Each structure stands twice: as structure tokens, then as C-alpha cells.
Amino acid sequence: MDLSKLMEARCSTRALFDPKRPIRSQDLMRILEAARWAPTPHNMQNFEIVVIDDKPLLKQIGNIKSKVTLDFLKENYQQLSFSKEELLRKKVGILSAWFPKEWTAASKLEEAAQKAEPFPVSGTLDGSPVLLIVIYDSRKRAPDSPGDFLGIVGLGCLMENMWLMANSLGIAFHIMSEFGEDPVEKEAKRILAIPAHMKMAYACRLGYPISEPGKGLRVRRDVKDFAYHNRFGSRGLHKKI
């Protein structure tokens, strides 16, 4: 596929994966090779990747409990549009219809957080034949980069490389945000014997959907909405370069 078309087609696959359809080892190796060539600051290569395909181990990780927090609900609410027309106008964010109603009412978010019950990670992971967990050494950082901002950018480049390669091979890819939570990370690190000083950057599940996932409305800002020519405030490109 043409690279620009591949980037446009890339998406998060929020669907059940077929547990009877494994990822071929040669395809998995190509995804890891794509990770290998991701740009990182000072060529730090500031990542390790734990590849999990053992079914009992995946089940054990799936049993880890996660919980919706008030911070998540508040920050999620800020990204919501309440109609397709609003989303098309704003060009950023997501539709409120994707979430439970109690998550979409500003006055009820605190109540929703209090009532939220812990739920197993398996709700997202179920059926996935492979889980990749990206970790990095939190004691290190890119030179002259407060908070290791540049190091985190490198981890993002790693994610994009793997994602595009997976999608080019017809393999669905989905980032699991649950692993960014302290309780989930702590328990997953214990199960996988990950050293205490290593930080889980993110986890992603790979697989083949059991059924064709539904396609939601996708929006992006136009180039003229975020590009400036020669100085901030001068929107768009005013002449051919």
C-alpha cells in the first residue's frame, strides 16, 4: 500500500480478536524490525519490548483489575462531541456515543467515578493472540530534555513504526491504555518480572478481528488549520515551496 494511504487507513481496532488465529512468527519479526529502526533521541534506543503469546500468561494478565478514575472521566469529557455535526465542525476529539451515558454528563462524573467497579483487563485483551508491552528505563533521559520529553517522543515513533507495519500486514493493532495505571502496571510488572526501575510506556494487542469492526466517523484538522508559514499566525502555505 502507498505510505500515505497506509497512514490514512491506520486506526485503533476496538474489536474481539480471533484467539485461534495466531500471528505468524515472520510477521511478528517484521513488526519488531520496524521497532528496531524507529528514531530515538541521541540514538538512545530507550526501549525494551516484552512479547507475550503464552495463553496461560495472557489469561493471568487479563485477570488484573482496572478502574475508571475521576481524572480520566474529566479529561475524557473535555474531548467529547455530542453529535456528528459538532465533531465535524471541531475536527478534533471523539463522539460521546462511544461511552456510557454517565460518562457524558458533566454534573455526574464524580458520581460515576464513585460507582465505577473494578473490571478485568481481559475485557479489552480477550482473544488477542499477542500482547506487546513497551518499557523503558525511567532512570535515563535524553540530554537536555526536562521530563525526558524527547525520550517520550522516541517511544511514540516506536509505536507508529510498529502500528504501520502491523497494519500493512493486515494485522489489527490496539493500544491498551489500562497499563498506564499504577495498580495495573504494578501487577503486570510483578507477573512479568520487570525490574522496579523500568516503566511501562504502553501495551498494544495484536490480532485478527473475529468480525469486521465498525467504522466510526474519522476527523482530522486540515493542513491550513495547524500549519503556519514563516511565523506563527500566518496560517497555511502562501506559496509553493
- pLDDT attached to residue 75: 96
C-alpha cell at 3: 505510505
- pLDDT attached to residue 241: 58
Short-list 141, 137, 172, 175, CA closest to 156: 175
C-alpha–C-alpha distance, residues 224 and 138, integer Å: 37
- pLDDT attached to residue 175: 95
Tell me the whole-structure pTM to 2 decimals.
Answer: 0.91
| Residue 132 C-beta-side C-alpha neighbours within 13 Å | 23
C-alpha–C-alpha distance, residues 175 and 205, integer Å: 7
Q: Give helix 55-62 / helix 182-192 axis angle, nearest 10°.
A: 150
Domains, the chain, in order of start with CATH, read 3-67+117-210 (3.40.109.10)
C-alpha–C-alpha distance, residues 9 and 22, integer Å: 23
10-residue stretch averages of pLDDT, the chain, 241 residues long: 89 90 97 97 95 96 94 96 96 94 95 94 92 93 92 96 96 91 92 94 95 82 92 83 58
C-alpha cell at 239: 506559496
